[in-house]
Every structure is written in structure tokens, then in C-alpha cells.
Structure 1
Amino acid sequence: MQDYRSNRERTEKTKAALIAAARALFVEKGYAETSTPEIVAAASITRGALYHHFEDKRALFRAVVAEEAMAVTRAVEQATPEHLAPREALIAGSNAYLDAMRITGRTRLLLIEGPTVLGFTEMKQLDEETTTLTLKQGLEAALSHGRKSGTPVDALADILSAAFDRAALAVDAGGDVDRYREAIALMIERIAD
């Protein structure tokens, strides 16, 4: 049992080191300019260990992006406890999304490099499993609370998700986060009314 646990711990430690090193390099240099020898050197791991854990550089990149998406989802979920009214939860969640996307490099990884490297379909699937799922749940609660059945929640979530992403890109480029928070809150208020 001890060997199994130590092997599992070593595996997780190696994967975490690779993901952390890759994240730093992908943020600094971009996916295309980052080589696997650079990643393994930064992680102090052998190249064989990289390919033992990840099929290729793209698979490692996907792991980095998935970890970033999960971090954003956790931030949104922490900001939206169940006791909040649906409308307030949507606003708190959107604010948490903007805050989470302000982590250095996250916008580049999730909104620029991710779609370029992984493609729209794969990024949309990842998004559906993370932040968009949380958004859909919030919209369903807000709209059912306001008795607006029949609203195409999936399409509405796609549109709002795109608006949130655009706001995150604008804030990352130096835009005033408070103005975007205000605009998003206004949009949510109108949808929920």
C-alpha cells in the first residue's frame, strides 16, 4: 500500500511540475514558441517523463488550460453560495469570473491560445464542463425564479459567456474592470427582469 501511495504521489508531483512549468512558458512565450525541451528543463523532469504523462505538447497544453478553467469555475462557485438569490448569484458569479480572469496569463491561455491551439469545438466542450455549466445553472434558477419558462438557456448562456470573455479581454488590455462589472450587472438585471 505504501508503494502505491508513493507512486501515485510521485506521479501527481511530476504532472504538477510539468503543468506549472508549461503554464509559465506558455504565458511568457506562447504555445508555438515553447518547446518541450524547455518545459522539461524548467520542470527538472526528463523528456521521457513528459511523454509518459502526456501524449504530446498539445495534451500538456490542454491539461494547463483545463486546470485554468477549473480554477475560474471554483472562484465562481465560491462567490455564489446557495443562499444568494438567483439574480445576485449571477452578478456575484460574473464579478468572480472577471476577478479570476485577471490572474496573470489566464486570459491569454483561455481566450487566445486555447481556441487557437485546441480549436473552437474542444474549447467549447471544456467550457461546457466548467464555467458555462455554472452559468447555465444560474440562468435556469434566475429565469425559473422569474417564471420565464421557454427561454433558450443554452443559447443565452453562449451569448453571455461570449460577453464575459470579451469583457475579460478588454480588462486584460487595460480596460476599467468596474465599468465592465457595471455593464454586466445591467445586462443580467435586464435578462432577469
Structure 2
Amino acid sequence: MTATPRPNTPRTKAAQREATMAALITEGRRRFAHQGYADVGLADLVAAVGVTKGALYHHFGSKAGLFRAVVAQVQQEVADRVSAAAEHHPDDPWRQLVAGCEAFLAASADPDIQRIMLIDAPAVLGWHEWRAMDEAASGRLLVDVLTVLTGDGTLPAQPVPPLARLLSGAMNEAALWLAQSTGSADLAATTAALRRLLAGLRTHAGDPS
């Protein structure tokens, strides 16, 4: 008797693979955010998901590989929030810049995002890899809008890469400071300072909003 073909088996295996990876990333993200990378034990992590260490190593190679996937997810979420904020001003690149920077600062003020993206990621992945991942996500959006603004005269003509890195560094530092602050008005004050900083870059000073 001829066996009945099972055309859906590869798809089922692929779905199981994706489900396992998603579960490991979700649990890893929760633990990395609450405990910090160094204090996360793989035995407890995989037990919580219901898989073996071998499954984790198969999909991610190592604890650092899982963390890298978590960082990529977090950075993409931040980039999506920046992009969504900018899209509210489709015909005004200046307001796109301001709204995007404010969205980045607000997202980065989240303690879980701070711990994963700004505190542990540079130490675990190394500065160069972390910067490359950041530039591939929200950093690219910043470069794009600055290129438009220097091209249309809103900002003085200048090389964009150093300007983008200066702004990105300032916002990352502000987010780290907010992580240590206890004042309820600190985010609003930091956002106002960011608006003044951006307004000072314009060719002709105007409305900081």
C-alpha cells in the first residue's frame, strides 16, 4: 500500500521552528529586560519555554545570539515608532525630524528598552555591531530626513553623517539619564530641551516645534 503524501509537513516544521524561535525571543526579552543579560540563566529560560538548550543553540547559536535577536526586535520596534510619528507630517520634513526625535526619546525612556538597547547591547555585542544595528534601524531614518533638510536649505549645507551621529548620541545619552531620574517632569523637560537643540540647528531660527 502506497503511503499518502504529506505535502504540508515542511510547512508544519517551518511553523514549529518559527513558533519556537518566537517563544525564545519573547521569554529572552522578558528576562533580559528584568534581570539584565549577565544574570539570565539559559537553563531557566529554556525550561520556561518548554524546550532544551539544544533547541536554543540550534536556532540562535548561543545566549549572545538570542540576545542579538532580542536587540534587533527592540530596535525595529523603536524604528517603527519613529517612522509612525514622522508619517503624521508627510509634507513637512522639519516636523518629521522633530516628531521622530521625540518619538525616539519617548520610546527609549521605557526602562525595558533602555536596559536591552542602550545599556547591555553595546557591552554584549560590542560597540561596532551595536552601532551598525542602530544605524540599520532608526539611525537610517534620521540620516534620510537630515539629508532632505540640508538639501532644501532648512539646515545649513553640511555633511550629514557626523550631524546624525551627534544627534543620535545626544538622544541616547538623554535616554540613559532619564533611566536614572526620578522626577515625573524630566521626560517633558528633556523633550523641550531637544526641541530647542533642534531649532538651533536651523538656517533661520523659528518656531522650535
Does TM, normalized by the shorter one, top 0.5?
A: yes
1:117-149 Cα shifts (integer Å, max 9, x gaps): 111111011011011111101111122121657
Of 120, 124, 134 in structure 1, the residue corresponding to residue 131 of structure 2 is 124
* Aligned counterpart, 1:75: 81
Runs of 4+ aligned structure 1 residues displaced above 4 Å come to: 147-150
Contact 2:155 2:201 in 1 (8 A): no
Contact 1:87 1:188 in 2 (8 A): no
Instruction: Name whichever of 102-111 and 135-144 sits farther off.
Output: 102-111
Question: Is the partner of 2:126 in helix, strand or coil?
Answer: helix
Return the TM-score normalized by structure 1.
0.93
Matches within 5 A, 1:57-76: 57-76=63-82
- Of structures 1 and 2, the larger Rg is shown by 2
Q: Which runs of 5+ in 1 are unaligned?
A: none
Distance 1:142 1:171 in 2: 29
Instruction: Report 1 or 2 for greater relative contact order, CA contacts < 8 Å, sequence distance ≥ 6.
Output: 1
* Residues 18/146 of structure 1: CA separation in 2 closer, same or farther (3 Å cut): same
* CA-based RMSD: 1.6
Contact 1:19 1:63 in 2 (8 A): yes
Q: Which runs of 5+ in 2 are unaligned?
A: 1-6, 204-209
Amino acid at match of 2:31: L
Q: How many residues align?
A: 193
Contact 2:93 2:148 in 1 (8 A): yes
Amino acid at match of 1:184: L
Amino acid at match of 1:9: A
Deviation at 1:103, TM superposition (A): 3.2
Higher helix share: 1
Distance 1:148 1:106 in 2: 31
Distance 1:99 1:147 in 2: 25
* Aligned counterpart, 1:191: 201
